[in-house]
Structure 1
């Protein structure tokens, strides 16, 4: 429905201005209803419209039409209006906006700022593509549901044993304070593990396990993968991968998600998984794609080759796979191999549990620390002699190696706004996010669920990119992909092209915002590397306050607070306060002068030190109180002694008195 103002050419009077609401019906005819008009014939038209609304019969309609034709026949303004409308419909102008003035009342007021729309992470429910849902249903036909359900239970049990709770969890959190219920929950979880004898174990995926994974676990992994890849496409609109590598692909989950995000712009896919049945299932799903949208160059392998001269990929994904590796040494070797095959971006995703977050955090620290060490040595790179000697070495690979050598180091694209250590390392809380997924029919049957058709899949992730962290630069040219994304989000390209680099410094909300009366409290991971509490009051402005009220868990918040943010206490600061109470003034001065004192911690100083006079006054007061206490004790003892003596005297006098009475 669009509201327009049309000017009639008959007379310039106020009666020639009409507000018309136009709507196009299924038969492509314009149904016009006048909402604000003047003139006798137009008023009769309104009466006819209201009359037909309540007396909608054929006889009444025909009779009222005749009366309407007689009444409006003499209204020249109405006739001229109809002629103008017919002329505009029969011969539309080249510019559709010509002669039409949009009513400013109908222009939508922006509910959120452009920065908040750009930093938004929430994408709503995620559903499987229709072709994938249909293909899985066709594959599961003819198999017993009870067997699939029991096999899916074994898979859930295996994942629970790998990424469940551990005894290493800290109940006294240095950031969020002590948790009264955490110890009980962890004890209950450990008791369940001990009772059921669930020990960390892995499953070998055969045909039965592959079917159970397809029916009971694929939607849980598809939602987070799609969310992360969609965030990359919006945060980095210039990034369009040509080749994608999926480590631990399983039935090709990350391949289908990346194809949905970037479509046919991806030229080749490579899926790696050690299970042959999983690879066969991925090939079966690939064959069920329609011919129009079918992926052309998609290959599957069982192992990663350790040849440093192998071709590299623009996007490398490892989703829910590192936790299944046997030990940390294997994880580090796989990480090094994945990073060496990454030309631009590496995506790591694990379950949103403390164990999954620990795996992601360790991988993040290792890559940021060893990004330069893990680069290909210069001896195997730029060399025309080697190119002439070794015919197997491709020229494209040589060019790619030279590009990688220019991109030294690495930085975090998401979720962290910094490249330092994670402030939640020693906390009972862990960095994780949630994505709501739509449960397909086969998934609900496997889980024996009837009512709820949705589920929240929690995950931890990190997106790493080669090269240094970008700085704020105002000059940037938007691409066609960027403009398309901004059109979908209804954002102006000229304003938002500056947000790409600025968003690398916006704080990330790690917990849902706390909405209070007149203000919003948010805890976010800031660019300084600390967890900071941001308070956005209503007095800061309508737009900032509205953005704070609409902000959600995982969003990037662009507005600066009215007051400086409150930094949540860390373990180092807590230890510092504990030492400050114990150490004397001389020890504190030595610590401040020493070079081994930790950087980043403010100098320890004793504030409001008591003077000598104050100390003497305190001692005198204490002495007076002690003397008074002693005197009070002595007085009490004297009173008690007097009372005892008086009682003893009275007892001795009574027998003598009785004797005297008898004698008398």
Structure 2
């Protein structure tokens, strides 16, 4: 009996078909041009995804990484709110819809889904790609300006991924406030850079002020213990590289690591991790060094040795971003 195909594999297959007939050189040039635009300052009402070729190339290049980052953030959120699943979902600035794929992988089954974006070519292509996923076949795709006049219908979940960097400070605040007013849970993902982390912390503060509880990654809803300007909180998700990735970046590896920062917050009761691994664990002879953010609002290094028995085995398997200790060890 064949194993069921995962949403990630279905998405990769759907994306591969987008590039049929598009010369590899043109796809690579489109991606490089669009990356250059995204690194600059782009008005939110001036879409840079101009046509299907632009959108197809950029979707094939960026959707897998966005999917994996959002999927990791949603997984941590689901661990903190284990008995809840969203019955409705709005993805703000969702483009071709990577986040709705991640939500469908985290909580299988159908739900009301709406993707909002300003770029009509992205919405059209997202609708086409989503047809490959039965859970997303009825999703709504709506052209909307993402800014101070944004109004959202009530929903269980709002996701905002890689959008805040494209907005002015005022528009970022308006978006987060609109999400907080409309949703029971909000998940925001940004690039894992100092700037991305700063935007996430800004959003985190607004959500807490609106009455939300942080479910992940933080073990608490108090102030972040990281000193601004000295460090930043980010995580990593492994992404399988397509041939387009290798063409554009000139790399030979079959994967890359997507660095991202995020906050997942909700009005629901939460059971956050006792602590969170906030750096890649360091394996030494007979010991594992874990950098942890803890519930007492402190960052600490924990050394787990062979003398800790099963906990040492778990530490050797621990990954950047994991809850610690394993839930089975908390009782």
| 1:364-375 pair list within 5 angstroms | 364-369=204-209, 371=210
Distance 1:554 1:133, change over 3 A: closer
Equivalent-residue separation in structure 1 for 2:220 and 2:56 (angstroms): 41
In the other structure, the counterpart of 2:290 is 522
Distance 1:270 1:317, change over 3 A: same
Structure 1 residue 261: Cα displacement: 2.5
Equivalent-residue separation in structure 1 for 2:27 and 2:224 (angstroms): 40
Q: State whether residues 216 and 447 of structure 1, in contact with CA within 8 Å, keep that contact through their aligned partners in structure 2.
A: no
Equivalent-residue separation in structure 2 for 1:557 and 1:538 (angstroms): 17
Equivalent-residue separation in structure 1 for 2:30 and 2:87 (angstroms): 37
SS of residue paired to 2:136: coil
RMSD, aligned CA: 2.6
1:549 aligns with 2:316: yes
In the other structure, the counterpart of 2:76 is 231
Structure 1 residue 517: Cα displacement: 4.0
The normalised TM-score by structure 1 is 0.45
Equivalent-residue separation in structure 1 for 2:238 and 2:56 (angstroms): 23
Equivalent-residue separation in structure 1 for 2:17 and 2:319 (angstroms): 38
SS of residue paired to 2:323: coil
Q: Which has the higher strand share?
A: 2
Equivalent-residue separation in structure 1 for 2:306 and 2:8 (angstroms): 42
In the other structure, the counterpart of 2:30 is 151
Q: Which has the higher helix share?
A: 1
1:439 aligns with 2:241: yes
**Number of matched residues?**
316
In the other structure, the counterpart of 2:329 is none
SS of residue paired to 1:330: helix
Q: Which structure 1 segments of 5+ residues have no match? A: 1-25, 27-126, 162-199, 372-408, 471-500, 560-664
Q: Which structure 2 segments of 5+ residues have no match? A: 327-331
Equivalent-residue separation in structure 2 for 1:530 and 1:356 (angstroms): 21
Structure 1 residue 427: Cα displacement: 4.2
Distance 1:135 1:532, change over 3 A: closer
Equivalent-residue separation in structure 2 for 1:201 and 1:275 (angstroms): 13
| 1:72-83 pair list within 5 angstroms | none
Q: State whether residues 275 and 302 of structure 1, in contact with CA within 8 Å, keep that contact through their aligned partners in structure 2.
A: yes
In the other structure, the counterpart of 1:317 is 159
Equivalent-residue separation in structure 2 for 1:148 and 1:345 (angstroms): 37
SS of residue paired to 1:315: strand
Q: State whether residues 274 and 302 of structure 1, in contact with CA within 8 Å, keep that contact through their aligned partners in structure 2.
A: yes
In the other structure, the counterpart of 2:193 is 353
In the other structure, the counterpart of 1:204 is 48
The normalised TM-score by structure 2 is 0.86
SS of residue paired to 2:176: helix
1:335 aligns with 2:136: no
Q: State whether residues 215 and 446 of structure 1, in contact with CA within 8 Å, keep that contact through their aligned partners in structure 2.
A: no
Distance 1:154 1:320, change over 3 A: same
Q: State whether residues 150 and 175 of structure 2, in contact with CA within 8 Å, keep that contact through their aligned partners in structure 1.
A: no
Structure 1 residue 154: Cα displacement: 1.7
1:201-224, Cα deviation, whole Å (9 max, x unpaired)? 466221143123123222221111
Return the match for 2:107 from 262, 273, 276. Answer: 262
Equivalent-residue separation in structure 2 for 1:307 and 1:273 (angstroms): 11
Instruction: Give the structure, 1 or 2, with the largest relative contact order (CA under 8 Å, sep 6 or more).
Output: 2
Structure 1 residue 321: Cα displacement: 0.7
